[in-house]
Amino acid sequence: MLENCDSTAASIATELIDNYAGFRAPEKEQVVIHYVTLMPGGLGGGMSTKAGNIQLNLGKLMVALSKSTFTTIAVQKTPWLLPLGALIIWTELWATAKIDVSENDASVIFSMWIYKDSEHTIEDSKVLSVVNKERAKYGQTLLSSSEISRSLKALESIGTIERSKEAPSKWWLREWVSIKYR
């Protein structure tokens, strides 16, 4: 492009570009797939989906890998099955990233999600009251503080929540909550 310019214009343009123009690729937003899917109020329980669940589902992972091995062998013998084989392998592996969440645990995470602050945290002291407020709204029996403690431990063990590092009196919601209405 600068070949058709005189040498002075070309040197000025080159200097401007070298010193004052920066080029970089646009930043990509990181895609994060970790969420809990549940009905309003946590009715019927829910499902936690994230890559970290794969290690918790070791049995499912072994079954998925064995099915994937048979699929791979079939695809080697019949190459036109490749798209179907890839779909089977993806489906099997994706299934290992899902963990069922009990109805009590689902109602706890649902309530925490509804009452979270802008940092996705909620005061530990508020959990009992907001959970039982939401459970009453959906016609569920109220939970005792020990039942809520068990749910918090269960949700913490699967990595759905954790104690906030900035404010240890708060719970940080690590997973997004996706509420389904059907």
Tokens representing 137 are 């709204």
Give the pLDDT of residue 2: 45
Tokens representing 128 are 């009992």
Right CATH for 103-173 from 2.60.20.30, 3.30.70.1350, 3.40.50.1700, 1.10.10.10: 1.10.10.10
Over residues 117-170, the pLDDT tens digits come to 999 999 999 999 999 999 999 999 999 999 999 999 999 998 899 999 999 999
Q: Are strands 170-173 and 176-179 parallel, antiparallel or unpaired?
A: unpaired
Given phi > 0 = left and psi -120 to 50 = alpha, else beta, which region is 41? left
Q: Are 92 and 144 in contact (CB under 8 A)?
A: no
Domain boundaries, the chain: 103-173
Radius of gyration of the chain from its Cα atoms, rounded to whole angstroms: 26
Spatial separation of the C-alpha atoms in residues 87 and 81, rounded to whole Å: 10
Find, among 181, 51, 45, 57, the residue nearest to 108 by Cα: 45
Q: Are 147 and 105 in contact (CB under 8 A)?
A: no
pTM: 0.68
Over residues 20-32, the pLDDT tens digits come to 656 565 565 554 5
Give the pLDDT of residue 13: 63
